[in-house]
């Protein structure tokens, strides 16, 4: 079947994958309100395209933390990719580097930082969960540095795991032939079957619930890598993130897998961008499935977006080729959106190229004088 948009991969993945695995990737927390909302909110933002602009040349390139990229679309960390396809994180790393973009490797990957580095050159970030055992965290960060990862994306929204009911019903556990490769040999590479979601039990046992702003400072004492805070949804926390020395902010609700009834990330973005006052770049993940979504995020001030589920679903469907295709489709759709909006470079994308529901309230035209 010819794939014409990235959402089509989800149906293929659902057919191909065992139910426990598909459910793990697909699920959101509790009522999954935020899961729907991450998508729906994009449809509340419409374009104000400009016409008769020469768009015969369009430049999608950008830099992220000083690294040159082909487009502002990057790969979010998603855990345990070898459950989707035997090549797992290797395939994702190769696809990202072929597309000239950044891959973020999950702490809970089924390939280690060294293994991913061995796939060849590429700009890579490392997503970090802070374990209770700080020596282990320091060791892992050092390994990521040595493997030439360029930044740490510190997940700040997971003191406990959100309640994903499908994982509880399925008694989710990591298939026995796989391990969390970054922790192999430390006796923490397995996610065993429990009476709950195995991952929720793992998090309860291993992850530090006491994580706080002082630990962001601590992290800076053990690494020179720039630290992005992933999971910021408010202006208040954006200010604190900057004060704590974050090099960037990722507006994220963890793919709607943590606290349900938080806003869609595209709804929270502008508040965070305003609070950041241009001091650090602000990125977004959550619900990005179309080039139009990427444009909307950039119009609201994002410096780039990350995609998560489209990667695991395309990986399940077609391995590295699937992930390459997802990146290509989003690239092409985004380029077309730019052309049809009259934007030739990312700098030309402005707030005036979109109109949101909340703008209508703000910008009511004055009443005509005849009716006064
Ligand atoms: C991992 O980060 C997950 O949300 O399952």
Per residue in 303-353, pLDDT (tens digit) is: 999 999 999 999 999 999 999 999 999 999 999 999 999 999 999 999 999
- 83 touches ligand 1 (CB under 6 Å): no
CA–CA dist 183, 109 (Å, integer): 9
> Is there an atom of ligand 1 within 6 Å of 325 CB?
no
CATH architecture of 8-355: Alpha-Beta Barrel (3.20)
Point out the least confidently predicted range of 300-304, 345-349, 364-368.
364-368
Distance of alpha carbon 360 from alpha carbon 8, whole angstroms = 33
Q: How far is the CA of 117 from the centre of ligand 1 (A)?
A: 22
For residue 79, the CA-to-ligand 1 centroid distance in Å is 6
Q: Is the CB of residue 254 below 6 angstroms from any atom belonging to ligand 1?
A: yes
At residue 155, the 3 state secondary structure works out as strand
Torsion of Cα atoms, 267 then 310 then 225 then 283, to 10°: -20
| DSSP for residue 38 | H
Residue 229 is given by DSSP the state E
Q: What is the mean pLDDT of residues 206-210?
A: 96
Task: Name which of 74, 8, 24, 38 is nearest 307 in CA terms.
Answer: 74
- Distance, CA of 98 to CA of 82 (rounded, Å): 20
Task: Specify which residues 35 forms β-bridges with.
Answer: none
Task: Determine which of 193-197, 287-291, 331-335, 350-354 has the lowest per-residue pLDDT on average.
Answer: 193-197
The answer to whether residues 298 and 72 touch, using CB atoms and an 8 Å cutoff, is: yes
Helix 309-341 crosses helix 8-16 at what angle (to 10 degrees)?
Answer: 170
Give the annotated binding-site residues.
24, 77-79, 106, 127, 129, 155, 164, 230, 252, 254, 257, 285-289, 308-309
Neighbours of 278 (CB within 10 A): 9
Q: How confident is the model at residue 1 (pLDDT cuts 50, 70, 90)?
A: confident
3-state class of 358 per DSSP? helix
Residue 197, number of CB atoms within 10 A of its CB: 25
Burial class (CB in 10 A: 0-12, 13-18, 19+), 78: buried
pLDDT at 211 over 90: yes
* Ligand 1 atom at minimum distance from 155 CA: 2
Q: Is the CB of 329 under 6 A from ligand 1?
A: no
Is the CB of 257 within 6 Å of ligand 1? yes
- Pocket lining: 164 vs ligand 1, CB cutoff 6 Å: no
pTM: 0.96
Which atom in ligand 1 lies closest to the alpha carbon of residue 127? 2
Residue 372: its pLDDT value, please? 46
26 C-beta closer than 6 A to ligand 1: no
CA distance 81 to 155: 18
pLDDT at position 185, please? 79
Residues 6+ apart with CB under 8 A from 299: 349, 350, 351, 353, 354
State mean pLDDT over 42-66: 98
Does the pLDDT at position 267 exceed 80?
yes
- Evaluate the CA torsion angle 105, 106, 107, 111 in order and state its sign: negative
88 CA to middle of ligand 1, Å? Answer: 16
Query: Best mutation site among 30, 129, 161 for ligand 1, i.e. most ligand atoms within 8 A of its Cβ?
Result: 161
Which residues belong to the active site?
A: 254
**Closest by Cα among 356, 360, 338 to 347:** 338
Which of the two residues, 369 and 84, has the higher pLDDT score?
A: 84
For residues 254 and 157, the answer to whether their CB atoms sit within 8 Å is yes
Which numbered atom of ligand 1 lies nearest the CA of 106?
2
Rounded to an integer, the average pLDDT of 224-232 is: 98
Which residues are CB-contacts of 241 (< 8 A; sequence separation ≥ 6)? 216, 229, 232, 249, 280
d(CA 315, CA 26): 14
Q: What is the 78 CA–ligand 1 centroid distance (Å)?
A: 7
**187 versus 56: which is more confidently predicted?**
56
């Amino acid at each position: 079947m010819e794939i014409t948009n990235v959402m089509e991969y989800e149906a293929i993945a659902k057919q191909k994958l065992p139910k426990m695995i598909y459910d793990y990737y697909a699920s959101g927390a509790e009522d999954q309100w935020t899961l729907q909302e991450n998508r729906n909110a994009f449809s509340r933002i419409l374009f104000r395209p400009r016409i008769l602009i020469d768009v015969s040349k369009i430049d999608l390139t950008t830099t992220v933390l000083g690294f040159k990229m082909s487009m502002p679309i990057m790969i979010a960390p998603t855990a345990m990719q070898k459950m989707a396809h035997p090549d797992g994180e290797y395939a994702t790393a190769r696809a990202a580097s072929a597309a000239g973009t950044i891959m973020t490797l999950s702490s809970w990957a089924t390939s280690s930082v060294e293994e991913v580095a061995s796939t060849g050159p590429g700009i890579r970030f490392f997503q970090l969960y802070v374990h209770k055992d700080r020596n282990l965290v320091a060791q892992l960060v050092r390994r990521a540095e040595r493997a030439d990862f360029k930044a740490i994306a510190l997940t700040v929204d997971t003191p406990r795991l959100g309640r994903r009911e499908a994982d509880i019903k399925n008694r989710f556990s990591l298939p026995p032939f796989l391990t969390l490769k970054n922790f192999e040999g430390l006796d923490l590479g397995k996610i065993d079957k429990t009476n709950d979601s195995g991952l929720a039990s793992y998090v309860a046992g291993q992850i530090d619930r006491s994580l706080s702003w002082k630990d962001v400072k601590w992290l800076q004492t053990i690494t020179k890598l720039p630290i992005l805070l992933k999971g910021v949804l408010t202006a208040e926390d954006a200010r604190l993130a900057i004060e704590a020395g974050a090099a960037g902010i990722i507006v994220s609700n963890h793919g709607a897998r943590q606290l349900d009834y938080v806003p869609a990330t595209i709804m929270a973005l502008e508040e965070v961008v305003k609070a950041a006052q241009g001091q650090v770049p602000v990125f977004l993940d959550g619900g990005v499935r179309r080039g139009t979504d990427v444009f909307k995020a950039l119009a609201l001030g994002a410096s780039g977006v990350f995609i998560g589920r489209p990667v695991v679903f395309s990986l399940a469907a077609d391995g590295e080729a699937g992930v390459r295709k997802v990146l290509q489709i989003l690239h092409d759709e985004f380029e077309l959106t730019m052309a049809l909006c009259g934007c030739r470079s990312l700098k030309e994308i402005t707030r005036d190229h979109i109109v949101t529901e909340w703008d209508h309230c703000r910008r009511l035209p004055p009443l005509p004088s005849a009716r006064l």
